[in-house]
Amino acid sequence: EYSCEYGSLKFYALCGVGGVLSCGLTHTAVVPLDLVKCRMQVDPQKYKSIFNGFSVTVKEDGVRGLAKGWAPTFIGYSMQGLCKFGFYEVFKILYGNMLGEENAYLWRTSLYLAASASAEFFADIALAPMEAAKVRIQTQPGYANTLRQAVPKMFGEEGIWAFYKGVAPLWMRQIPYTMMKFACFERTVEALYKYVVPKPRSECTKGEQLVVTFIAGYIAGVFCAIVSHPADSVVSVLNKEKGSSASQVLVRLGFRGVWKGLFARIIMIGTLTALQWFIYDSVKVYFRLPRPPPPEMPESLKKKLGLTE
């Protein structure tokens, strides 16, 4: 039935491939919305709303201007997806084995949070260089139009530091986002099969299972957007300005400033997260990877708690 064993090297490698496709394709697809969101955060006087941002961009740069930064987005988020989803599976199994079957069930939310935080730590190091180039291309008029122009210019001005100075704010933004994305998704899937879907997962068709995946992904995405938005605003401003620190930017933006562009981000991240989980799960189905059902209480724990007859 399955093409490989759960937790084998082939399993992790194919999960990584699923991550590349799910993150690379979805983030590239929403580049126009991301571009407008970044410009609203960096220059709110000029780009007042989503629709105004689109019209100003098209007026100044034409329709092609909306695709600015697609190359670093595709490369950066493909690398991030590889590490995020691949390492999540690695750490989930590793930490689960360390806890033992009973504790892994009892502490499953903490397990999802720890595994996703560990995976995202490495994923952001892979993403940082391309994210820095993307923000420069999108938010600094006349700086560079393509990745080929931006990379040598950035390296010439600030050396290798230009590509990694945003890694700490990226961790601030992405680690809480990913913890929410994975833990909220896992628990939402569990709740949907328990309270909403009228039959067990084993009796659902592959198509029905993927619909559940998409709905759980969207719900997780809304929470992700809210949790990570303030840090996202800081990252956008920081990559545009030389010599500012994250704390200085945070103080200057103030409470209202860091929530600019939240509605755009909720639409973007909700759709993005739902599609990412849908693509990732579809890849697992296509390659016939083991997809464990939602966790159930181990028999040994049921006996301890007196839940068995």
Q: pLDDT tens, position by position, for the chain (309 residues)?
A: 899 999 999 999 999 999 999 999 999 988 898 888 888 878 888 988 888 999 999 999 899 889 888 999 999 999 999 999 999 999 999 999 999 999 999 999 999 999 999 999 999 999 999 999 988 888 888 888 889 999 999 999 888 888 998 898 889 888 988 999 999 999 999 999 999 999 989 899 999 999 999 999 999 999 888 888 888 788 777 766 666 777 888 888 887 888 888 888 888 788 889 999 999 999 999 999 999 888 988 998 888 888 776
In terms of CATH, what superfamily is 9-300?
Mitochondrial carrier domain (1.50.40.10)
Residue with token string 């892994």 = 104
H helices of 1-69, in order, are 9-29, 31-42, 50-61
Residues in the chain: 309
How far apart CA 130 and CA 181 sit, in angstroms, is 22
Tokens of 227: 């949790």
Estimate the crossing angle of helix 9-29 against helix 262-286, to 10 degrees.
140
Q: Which residues contact 191 (CB under 8 A, 6 or more apart)?
A: none
pLDDT computed for residue 274 by the predictor: 93
How far apart CA 127 and CA 125 sit, in angstroms, is 6
26 and 18 in contact (C-beta within 8 Å)?
no
DSSP codes, 89-127: HHHHHHHHHHH-HHHHHHTHHHHHHHHHHHHHHHHHHHH
239 and 163 in contact (C-beta within 8 Å)?
no
Residue with token string 């950066």 = 76
pTM: 0.82
98 and 118 in contact (C-beta within 8 Å)?
no
How far apart CA 130 and CA 176 sit, in angstroms, is 20
140 and 240 in contact (C-beta within 8 Å)?
yes
Please choose, from the candidates 73, 167, 75, 159, the residue with its C-alpha nearest in 3D space to the C-alpha of residue 122.
167
Tokens of 101: 């079957």
How close are the terminal C-alpha atoms of the chain, in Å? 33
Burial of 5-19, coded b for 16+ CB within 10 Å and e otherwise, reads eeeeeebbebbbbbb
pLDDT computed for residue 6 by the predictor: 94
Residue with token string 């502490």 = 107
How far apart CA 140 and CA 180 sit, in angstroms, is 31
Instruction: Identify the burial level of 272 via C-beta atoms within 10 angstroms of its C-beta, where 0-12 means exposed, 13-18 middle and 19 or more buried.
Output: buried
